[in-house]
Amino acid sequence: MKKENPQKLTKLEASQVMDEIKNNINPNEPVINDPKEVVNEDELFVLVDLDVLKSEQIKSEPYSYFKSVFAAFLRKPSAWIAMISLLILVLCIIIIPMFTPEGFFDFNIANKNIRPNDVHLWGTDPVGRDLFFMVWTGARKSLVLALINSAIVVFVGTIFGLIWGYFRRLDFLFVEIYNLIINIPSLLIYMLLSYIFSFTFPEIPTDIRLIISLTLLGWIGMARLVRNYVLIISNREYNIASKTLGTPGKRIMTKNLLPYLLGIIITETSLIIPGMISSEVTLSYFGLGLPSSSVSIGALLDLGRTNFVLYPFQLLAPAGVMAAIIFVFFLLGMSISDALDPKKHR
**What kind of fold does domain 65-99+131-345 have according to CATH?**
MetI-like fold (1.10.3720)
Note the pLDDT of residue 1: 47
Round to whole Å and give the CA distance between 149 and 53: 54
pLDDT digits (tens, 9 = 90+) for 268-278: 887 788 888 88
Are 231 and 254 in contact by the 8 Å Cβ rule? The answer is no
Task: Give CA angle at 131 (126, 137), nearest 5°.
Answer: 125
pTM above 0.85, yes or no: no
Are 131 and 317 in contact by the 8 Å Cβ rule? The answer is yes
Phi, psi of 124 (to 5 degrees): -125, 160
Domain ranges in the chain are 65-99+131-345
Residues of the chain with pLDDT below 50 are: 1-3
Round to whole Å and give the CA distance between 301 and 292: 9
User: What residues are paired with 130 via a beta bridge?
Assistant: 124
Percent of the chain with pLDDT over 70: 81
Q: How far is CA 298 from CA 246, 292, 311, in A?
A: 52, 8, 17
pLDDT digits (tens, 9 = 90+) for 244-256: 887 787 788 877 7
Note the pLDDT of residue 321: 86
3-state secondary structure the chain: CCCCCCCCCCHHHHHHHHHHHHHHCCCCCCCCCCCCCCCCHHHCCCCCCCCHHHHCCCCCCCCCHHHHHHHHHHCCHHHHHHHHHHHHHHHHHHHHHHHCCCCCCCCCHHHCCCCCCCCCCCCECCCCCEHHHHHHHHHHHHHHHHHHHHHHHHHHHHHHHHHHHHCHHHHHHHHHHHHHHHCCCHHHHHHHHHHHHHHHCCCCCHHHHHHHHHHCCCCHHHHHHHHHHHHHHCCCHHHHHHHHCCCCHHHHHHHHHHHHHHHHHHHHHHHHHHHHHHHHHHHHHCCCCCCCCCCCHHHHHHHHHHHCCCCCHHHHHHHHHHHHHHHHHHHHHHHHHHHCCHHHHC
Round to whole Å and give the CA distance between 180 and 165: 19
